[in-house]
């Protein structure tokens, strides 16, 4: 393909291989052509964008672009289920390729080979691709191939993603809205700099202060205490906290304080350990504003039933190979300090104010303006969990509220935002399975917006229990009678979030 086929600067691209895959009836997969190729970076020193596109012989005239994850760098095949890395429970629906969609994904143009994670950010174009420009470059290259293969463009073009892919999904709506008819964003990582700085701050409280860390026994103590107080607040003792605002009011971590505030037992918390949790459970305010007026982030749901794994030690006992450290360390070193030998010791983001603001403007997906996407009929579904320790619910809530302020009641014509109790970052005590792609397609193709959607818990022990999927700020409350495993016995009520 020529550079002119792609709406951002490149040196064109090419298909490296194309293989016709026979139908696999056992897997429900049709015959399709699997093509792999590259979009050549404009800067010859930047990584190319490698992609895969799957072209079914019997095509439904629609396409699904899959978002990436983490720091990208690995080609997303587009052969999985929507919206990206979620469970394979049947309630999730068949993979789009099985339904006749053209599907595709890329590595985001950030492959580093044997170099350190995140080191691509030292190259300006690779960082721009990670910011979301790869969404456009990949889309334009693949749609060119689709047009040449079938002799026509898709009637409907969808984007689906979670976490980093959710960030990219909202970038698609905000920056490239004319290209898409429907978008699904699960727990979108929309403000990289605020997230990274807050993760670093929380991690410092656990490891940077003597006695701040909670060992596994103390983490379990907190979890048991929170659920003992808050599980029942939605009317059903079922291992899921849906009324999180009620939980904020009902549970006090001070109830776990050790006598004298000193660490003398695994059956209580020291003053320092309580401060660790309170730090995470409080809004983290920044010293200056980021893009689109973001001034802080949080709270994180450590006292709302979240798994405290991001505070866990690794096998070596140093806390540097798991949890938040693996996420914030590359960003601080390669994005902010721009130094492969940069140090996290005594890192103070205030010394990098200009760079942090610059990165926020480049990387954020917090712009409430999706006018172009909405005006041509685009539909957006956002899903967030209450126990997500990577992307806190409060961050996604704040973004939706800015959109609602911009569009008023008309927002429901093109946006639906669902918050799921007990759902975390693709897993959780309630492991959400929902055929969001069918819901999106019904909305865009037949103007049938989601009506009383039902979510299934894909955890094996849950035995396919269901809950109503409630639009923010509502939450599912048990009616007081009937099987607590059935969605029909719950109602979406209240103002149960903040």
| Cβ count within 10 A of residue 483 | 10
**pLDDT digits 0-9 by tens, 40-74:** 999 999 999 999 999 999 999 999 999 999 999 99
Concerning whether 153 is annotated as a catalytic residue, the answer is no
What's the CA gap between 96 and 63, in Å, rounded?
9
Q: What is the pLDDT of residue 490?
A: 98
Every domain of the chain and the residues it spans:
3-190+365-474, 194-363
**pLDDT tier for residue 122 given thresholds of 50, 70 and 90:** very high
* Element housing 146 (H / E): helix 134-150
**pLDDT digits 0-9 by tens, 327-375:** 999 999 999 999 999 999 889 999 999 999 999 999 999 999 999 999 9
Q: What is the pLDDT of residue 321?
A: 54
**pLDDT tier for residue 325 given thresholds of 50, 70 and 90:** confident
**pLDDT digits 0-9 by tens, 169-181:** 999 999 999 999 9
pLDDT at 451 over 70: yes
**pLDDT tier for residue 207 given thresholds of 50, 70 and 90:** confident
Q: What is the pLDDT of residue 316?
A: 43
What percent of the chain has a predicted confidence (pLDDT) above 70? 95
pLDDT at 84 over 60: no
Length of the chain: 498
The catalytic position among 248, 307, 388, 431 is: 388
Give the CA distances from residue 277 to residues 215, 306, 445, in Å, rounded to whole numbers and listed in that order. 13, 12, 46
**pLDDT tier for residue 92 given thresholds of 50, 70 and 90:** confident
Residue with tokens 């010791």: 345
pLDDT at 85 over 60: no
**pLDDT tier for residue 83 given thresholds of 50, 70 and 90:** confident
Of 42-56, 155-169, 300-314, the least confident = 300-314
Q: What does the mean pLDDT of the chain come to?
A: 94
| 8-state DSSP, 131 | I
The catalytic position among 106, 163, 270, 360 is: 163
The catalytic position among 40, 167, 325, 425 is: 425
Q: What is the pLDDT of residue 488?
A: 97
Concerning whether 388 is annotated as a catalytic residue, the answer is yes
Q: What is the pLDDT of residue 314?
A: 44
Q: What is the pLDDT of residue 312?
A: 55
DSSP of 307-338: --GGG---TTSSS-SSTTHHHHHHIIIIIIS-
Q: Which CATH architecture has domain 3-190+365-474?
A: 3-Layer(aba) Sandwich (3.40)
With CA atoms as reference, report the closest residue to 79 among 118, 28, 120.
28
Q: What is the pLDDT of residue 315?
A: 39
pLDDT at 5 over 60: yes
**pLDDT tier for residue 318 given thresholds of 50, 70 and 90:** low
pLDDT at 323 over 90: no
Structure tokens at 108: 């985001």
Looking only at the bridges linking them, the beta strands covering 182-186 and 379-385 are parallel
| Cβ count within 10 A of residue 9 | 13
Q: What is the pLDDT of residue 90?
A: 77
**pLDDT digits 0-9 by tens, 410-447:** 999 999 999 999 999 999 999 999 999 999 999 999 99
């Amino acid at each position: 393909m020529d550079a002119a086929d792609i709406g951002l600067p490149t040196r064109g691209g090419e298909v490296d291989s194309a293989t016709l895959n026979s139908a696999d009836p056992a897997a429900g997969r049709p015959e399709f052509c699997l093509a792999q190729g590259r979009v050549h970076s404009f800067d010859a020193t930047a990584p190319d964008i490698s992609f895969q596109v799957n072209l079914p012989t019997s095509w439904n005239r629609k396409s699904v672009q899959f978002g990436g994850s983490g720091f990208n760098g690995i080609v997303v095949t587009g052969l999985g289920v929507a919206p990206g890395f979620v469970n394979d429970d049947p309630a999730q629906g068949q993979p789009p390729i099985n339904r006749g969609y053209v599907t595709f994904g890329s590595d985001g143009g950030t492959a580093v080979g044997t170099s350190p994670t995140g080191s691509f950010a030292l190259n300006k174009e690779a960082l721009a691709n990670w910011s979301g420009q790869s969404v456009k470059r990949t889309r334009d290259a693949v749609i060119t191939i689709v047009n040449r293969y079938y002799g026509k463009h898709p009637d409907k073009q969808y984007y689906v993603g979670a976490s980093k892919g959710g960030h990219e999904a909202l970038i698609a709506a905000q920056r490239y809205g004319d290209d898409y008819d429907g978008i699904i964003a699960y727990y979108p990582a929309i403000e990289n700099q605020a997230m990274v700085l807050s993760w670093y701050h929380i991690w410092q409280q656990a490891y940077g202060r003597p006695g701040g860390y909670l060992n596994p026994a103390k983490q379990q103590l907190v979890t048991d205490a929170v659920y003992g107080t808050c599980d029942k607040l939605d009317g059903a003792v079922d291992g899921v906290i849906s009324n999180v605002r009620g939980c904020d009011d009902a549970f006090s971590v001070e109830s776990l304080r050790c006598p004298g505030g000193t660490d003398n037992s695994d059956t209580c918390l020291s003053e320092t350990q309580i401060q660790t949790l309170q730090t995470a459970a409080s809004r983290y305010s920044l010293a200056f504003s980021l893009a689109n007026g973001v001034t802080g982030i949080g709270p994180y749901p450590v006292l709302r039933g979240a798994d405290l794994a991001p505070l866990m030690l690794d096998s070596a006992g140093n806390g540097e190979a798991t949890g938040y450290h693996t996420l914030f360390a590359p960003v601080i070193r390669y994005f902010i300090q721009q130094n492969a030998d940069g140090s996290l010791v005594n890192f103070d983001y205030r010394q990098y104010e200009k760079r942090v603001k610059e990165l926020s403007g480049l990387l954020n997906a917090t712009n409430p303006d999706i006018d172009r996407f909405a005006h041509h009929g685009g539909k957006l579904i956002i899903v967030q969990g209450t126990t997500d320790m990577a992307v806190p619910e409060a961050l996604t809530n704040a973004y939706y509220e800015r959109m609602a302020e911009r569009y008023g009641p008309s927002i429901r014509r093109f946006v639906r935002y669902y918050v799921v109790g007990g759902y975390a970052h693709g897993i959780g005590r309630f492991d959400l399975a929902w055929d969001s792609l069918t819901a999106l397609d019904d909305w865009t193709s037949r103007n049938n917006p989601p009506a009383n959607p039902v979510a299934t818990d894909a955890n094996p022990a849950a035995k396919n229990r269901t809950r109503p999927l409630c639009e923010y700020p509502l939450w599912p409350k048990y009616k007081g009678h009937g099987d607590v495993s059935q969605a029909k016995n719950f109602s979406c009520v209240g103002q149960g979030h903040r």
